[in-house]
Chain A
Amino acid sequence: MKQYRTILPFIKQHKAQYIFGVLALIFVDITHLLVPQVLRVFADLAQKGELNVERIMFCALAVIVLGLCVAIGRYGWRMNIFGTARKLEYWLRAKLFNKYLSLDDTFFNYHRTGDLMAHVTNDVLMVRNSMGGGIIMIIDSIFMTIFTGIMMIYTVGLKTAMIALTALPLLTIFVFTVLKPMQLRSRRVQDSFSDMTNEVQENISSIHNIKAFGIENNRSRSFSRVNQDYQRKNIEMMRLSALFDPIVSLISGIAFVIFIIYGIYRLLDGSMSLGDFVAVVDYLRLMIWPLIAIAMVVNSFQRGIASMTRINEILSAESKILETAAPSKMDLNNVKIEFKDVSFRYDKKSPWVLKNISFVLENQKSIAILGRTGSGKSTIINLLLRRYDVSSGQILLNDVDIRDMALTDLYKAIALAEQDSFLFSRSIAGNIAFSSSDEDQDYDLNKVRSSAEFSQIAQDIEEMPEGYSTWVGERGVTLSGGQKQRISIARAHYKNTKVLVLDDSLSAVDTNTEKSILDHLKKYQQSLILVSQRVSTVQTADQILVLEDGEITQRGDHISLSQDTEGFYARLYHRQLLESELAEEGRHK
């Protein structure tokens, strides 16, 4: 149960609700137990023929009053205990989500999105159930068992009560024995279900293959295997679970029969009245639920503990990127960036990704990084943005190690547009003004428009029926790769930083648009970092670094680099010239 320590602050905060809820529950339980007493008195009076209008009235009123008390009390505990459990769900969900917001790329690389989502939805729900229904069941089963026991002993004496209850512990034992295998079988159903999901997913994703080979029937047979397996697993589970209700009725019924037969002798020697009999029968009925509940509590908390453990794992995860406790005060009006002998690898066993990278980017200057896929270009950007920390060497911003800066300061200084940039489900304007600190929709639309013009996307947007309010993302319009890239450039531009990083973010944009974006860039007093595989993108930069296998193999400007005809840069330049020649030729046809 120590896993629940995480929610201790919440419980302390809501102590009052829990206490009130539990009191209401006990109140309901006690009131419940009084109803059979009323019926007992009534039965005895009826049998003795001592009923009169007043007594009848008393009994009827008592039943109504008790009923009202139960109703009010039940509303009270439901709202307090279940209600607090729902608040707990909210609280835990927020806690987890906020934790995600603080974790770094390394964490997200090692955890699948679906799994992280499951923590926030399923696991939180499990904890909620254990803290709502679970608590109710604990209290209810303990109090009801004790109180009912006391009332029975009070009504018919210890011995008769014991005999009436003999069969009932069987219920608890039955539920206990059945729960484990039931969980096991239900796990098997889940596994089979995910097998089936996989089968469908994989086959439909290769539907072209299936059609080309005309093997629809073969695939259909293959599916029917998992389909049958799923059916079988389900039936195996229900074979057990369907036993639950019938067995409960059977065992409680047997307890009842035992009591009747024993009751004959008690009635014969006059030590039990008809009223006592009626009351005990009612008590027996009240006793069934708590006895089942005991076993279910265990189950509910077992699941709760498993989920709590998973949640705790996330909550105790630590970012590898640690913000310094006393960040340096930064003046971000001018920004100079320096890489000093930076090397990087993901961990001690992995190969080096970057080796001895050094360069300086002065304020308002531009630097370009050119290299093939996998040469380490984007890693340089990741290090600059402190997505990872350097393995050796230093990255300095205005001569301060970026590890000594507040992360928000770092991000205030640098804006990034990536090749595969992520757009959110919101309007285009909302996406462009993503960095705006204003609340939703309060951003400056003129600024949005000028950013869109900057990245040459304004015309595309205006042609859409809903313009800047056009919804993008899952339920929104589909944008082409080039459009997405240009929106992400507009987004980075809107942020209005001293340094702009374009990480291959022009790859899906055609050459003419690229050229006019690059021309625009120069008008702004920004430092620029351009990352690309295309010479056309990088050629205007003040300084060009050629990156091969994590090392800088060439550096200089366009003119000096293209003169080294055997070098990577010149060869690539020549090749790309040919390609554009090809494209040109096509256009003239």
Chain B
Amino acid sequence: MSNQAKLNADYEKEQLESRKKFSLKRLYGYALPHWKKFLLVIVLIIITTGVTLIQPKLIQLLIDNQFTVLSDRTASSAEQNLATANTIKISLLYLGTLIIAFVTNYGQAYLLQTTGQEILRHIRQNLYNHILHLPTSFFDHYPLGSLVTRVTNDTENLNEMFTSVLSNLIRNLFNLSGIMVIMFLMNYKLASLILILLPLVIFISIVFRKAIRKVYFAQRRVLALINTKLSENISGMRTIQIFNRTRQTETEFDQVNQEYLALSRKELKYFSIYRPSIEVIQSLGIAALIWFGSKGNMRGLISFGVLYAFIDYIQRFFRPIFELSETFNLIQSAITSTSRIFHLMDEPLESRGGNLRISKYGLKGEIEFKNVWFAYNEGEWILKDVSFKVEPGQFVAFVGATGAGKSTIMHLICRFYDINRGQILIDGHDIKEYNLKDLRRAIGVVQQDVFIYSGSIADNITLNRENVDYEAARKAAALVNADQFINKLPQRYREYLTERGSTLSAGQRQLLSFARTVAAQPSILVLDEATANIDTETEFLIQDAIRNMAQQRSMLAVAHRISTIADADNIIVLHHGRLAEQGTKDELLAQDGLFKVLYKLQFQENK
């Protein structure tokens, strides 16, 4: 089972790393601003614990003083009346402790939860913001699913850390020490008797903890395996059936399923031994109390009430120990999640670019590629020694087969990636000198897949950018012919769009994205296969829109259809990452080269 070994190794590595990187300090850095609330929580827990621990003491007082009088046939009626009054007083006191405990207990839980949720929201937001500002190349390698898990599930695991774990820890520790203190105050001899039991309990708990930890780790590994197997076999069901492999698949799944059952029963067994064994110790404790206590009682050293209170306390004494041992698993998973979250937060952010700012009047729009080499992965050159120049106001088109490197050029101009060799200049400055935000604002990109956010049409055009107001949005929509369909919508610019924009046609979505881009008045316009999904109906509108947009600004376009770029000032033909030909359409056709073949192909298709 080499795969098993591999998964095991992966898992252990992850665990090891998590412990190394985990820093409580960092997590509690988020909690620090809330220290007043946490302090209050601790005070409330102390009050709750204190008040609850008084309860057995009150009963002891009742038994030793009042009840003895009450059940004493020889006592005078005056004594009995006094005892009755005192009993009622103590009962009311008891009721008081109940009410106080109720209030402080709820208050403590409420405060801790609200604060915990606030901290979590903060962490989640920070994490999400961090992700938004990571460099584009990061997303090429990091699976989307894991990113989503980091933001949602892992922060959720932390929830336990701040709420149940923290409160359990504090409450149980106070409880334990509180009980010890009271017992010592009541009768130090009996209390030290109980203390002798403590090492035994601790020993059993440590052994149990070690054993159960292994089981939990193994269980999580097998559960992950079950999930992988499930998702894979459900997705590949067709292949399994066609290859007559159902029987083996069944056996394979049964193996992990059985493995999980075995582990699950092991876990159960450990718990089934642990709890009863602690309970046996508890019985031993009670028996010891009876034995030594009653001897003291016979000698008049210990009242029965004290003995009774001790029996009560010893039962309360063991509950925190159970609870502590059960929070252990939660702590483990919280630690793993914390380390994952901080690991992601340690990913370096995208650079902010240089110090060169771009004024609100924008750029002239002169672009120059000087011997640019670029590879996404080392050694696999996508662009090889590409040089060209775009004069301000020019319309330059890029053509070539799929994978020739057209879209890459568009990505490089926006500085989604940094080039390996050469230089990209805009208005005579290396693009690395520009402030990145300014640069991207100055360049308007229209992409092939249009993303619609849930919100109104107007919101989808302005995107809440500070430099785009409602008026600009309307103007932009009119410029790209999007106003025609928008005005037909019942709510016009207020029409609400659902995520993915399913109510709009592909062409309408594309027009909307044109409007979105030009609304910010970019100096350079980049169309990245923006016309790929357009139906013939909207094609005319789009052509017109592009012509409108191209006025007064440089425009770069990657297009599938040669018809959309026919009137470009310069057409650059890319082939396998190299610049193969350039010129106007007529020049290129006269050359009888690659462009001519492409042109003929298009012509074929349209026939």
Residues of A that sit less than 8 Å from B by CB: 39, 42-43, 46-47, 49, 51, 56-57, 59-61, 63-64, 66-68, 70-72, 74-75, 78-79, 82-83, 86-87, 89-90, 93-94, 97-98, 100-103, 105, 108, 113, 116-117, 120-121, 193, 196-198, 200-224, 227-228, 230-231, 234-235, 238-239, 242-243, 245-247, 249-250, 253-254, 256-257, 260-261, 264, 267-268, 270, 272-274, 277-278, 281, 385, 387, 407-408, 411-412, 414-416, 421-422, 424-426, 434-435, 437, 439-440, 469, 471, 473-475, 491, 495, 571, 574-575, 578-579, 581-583, 585-586, 589
Contact = CB atoms under 8 A, between A and B. Distances in A.
B74 to A, nearest CB: 12
Given A113-B231, A204-B139, A101 B113 contact: no
A582 B121 contact: no
Contacts of B264: 86, 89
Of B6, B133, B238, most A-chain CB atoms within 10 Å: B238
Contacts of B258: 90
B447 A209 contact: yes
Contacts of A231: 117-118, 120-121
Given A71-B277, A101-B237, A270-B71, A214 B441 contact: yes
Contacts of A214: 437, 440-441, 465
A213 B516 contact: yes
Contact of B280 (A56, A71, A408): A71
Nearest to A38: B290
Contacts of B273: 75
Interface stretch (B19-27, B62-70, B184-192, B334-342): B62-70
B88 A261 contact: yes
Given A204-B147, A434-B245, A475-B10, A249 B101 contact: yes
Q: Which 7 A-B pairs have the closest CB atoms?
A: A67-B283, A71-B276, A242-B109, A253-B98, A78-B272, A60-B287, A206-B451
B227 interface: yes
Contacts of B268: 78-79, 82-83, 86
Given A213-B465, A223-B128, A268 B257 contact: no
B144 A56 contact: no
A219 B132 contact: yes
A260 B601 CA distance: 98
Contacts of B401: 582-583, 586
Interface stretch (B248-256, B425-433, B469-477, B533-541): B248-256
A171 B120 CA distance: 33
Contact of A278 (B308, B441, B443): B308
A250 B257 contact: no
Given A268-B80, A408-B244, A46 B297 contact: yes
A578 B604 contact: yes
A257 B597 CA distance: 97
Contact of B91 (A234, A260, A437, A582): A260
Contacts of A213: 440, 445, 463, 465, 516-517, 520
B254 A101 contact: no
B586 interface: no
Contacts of A89: 261, 264
B34 interface: no
A82 B133 CA distance: 49
B144 A47 contact: no
B463 A260 contact: no
Interface stretch (B367-375, B388-396, B550-558, B574-582): B574-582
B3 A235 contact: no
Given A61-B287, A79-B268, A407-B241, 6 more contacts: A51-B294, A120-B226, A213-B440, A411-B242, A473-B232, A581-B597
27 contacts: A42-B290, A43-B308, A59-B294, A60-B287, A61-B287, A63-B283, A74-B276, A82-B272, A101-B246, A102-B246, A193-B152, A200-B147, A208-B136, A211-B414, A212-B440, A221-B464, A235-B114, A243-B106, A249-B98, A260-B62, A261-B88, A268-B84, A411-B242, A412-B244, A415-B243, A475-B6, A491-B243
Contacts of A253: 55, 94-95, 98, 101
Contacts of B594: 582, 585-586
Contacts of B63: 274, 277-278
For this complex, into which size category does the number of interface residues on chain B fall? 35 or more
Given A108-B234, A261-B87, A586-B594, A197 B152 contact: yes
Contacts of A39: 311
Contacts of A421: 239
A421 B62 CA distance: 79
Contacts of A70: 276, 279, 283
A477 to B, nearest CB: 13
Contacts of A98: 250
Interface in B87-103: 87-88, 91, 94-95, 98-99, 101-102
A47 B68 contact: yes
A67 B580 CA distance: 89
A113 B227 CA distance: 11
Contacts of A586: 401, 575-576, 580, 594
Contact of B238 (A239, A254, A387): A387
A204 B597 contact: no
A74 B490 CA distance: 69
Interface of B: 2-3, 6-7, 10, 52, 55, 59, 62-63, 67-68, 70-71, 73, 80, 84, 87-88, 91, 94-95, 98-99, 101-102, 105-106, 109-110, 113-114, 117-118, 120-121, 124-125, 128-129, 131-133, 136, 139, 144, 147-148, 151-152, 156, 226-228, 230-246, 248-254, 257-258, 260-261, 264-265, 268-269, 271-273, 275-277, 279-280, 282-284, 286-288, 290-291, 294-295, 297-298, 304, 307-308, 311, 401, 414, 416, 437, 440-441, 443, 445, 447, 449, 451, 453, 463-465, 499-500, 516-517, 520, 575-576, 578, 580, 593-594, 597-598, 600-601, 604-605, 607
Given A100-B234, A101-B237, A435-B245, A264 B70 contact: yes
Give the most central of A51, A214, A273: most B CB within 10 Å.
A214
A171 B215 CA distance: 37
A257 B102 contact: no
Nearest to A117: B230
Contact of B67 (A196, A215, A274): A274
A59 B3 contact: no
Contacts of A49: 298
Contacts of B129: 216, 220
A227 B122 CA distance: 9
Given A209-B451, A238-B109, A471-B3, A220 B290 contact: no
Nearest to B59: A281
Contacts of A196: 151-152
Contact of B440 (A202, A211, A469): A211
Given A204-B148, A253-B98, A257-B91, A64 B125 contact: no
A201 B451 CA distance: 13
A227 B124 contact: yes
- Scoring B144, B236, B241, B465 by chain A CB atoms within 10 A of each residue's CB, the highest score goes to B241
B228 A425 contact: yes
A219 to B, nearest CB: 6
Contact of B98 (A102, A250, A415): A250
B70 A200 contact: no
A520 B128 CA distance: 53
B216 to A, nearest CB: 15
A64 B152 contact: no
A243 B258 CA distance: 40
B434 to A, nearest CB: 13
A310 B52 CA distance: 45
A422 B95 contact: no
Contacts of A90: 257-258, 260-261
A200 B441 contact: no
Contact of A471 (B6, B257, B576): B6
Nearest to B304: A46
A579 B237 CA distance: 37
B406 to A, nearest CB: 14
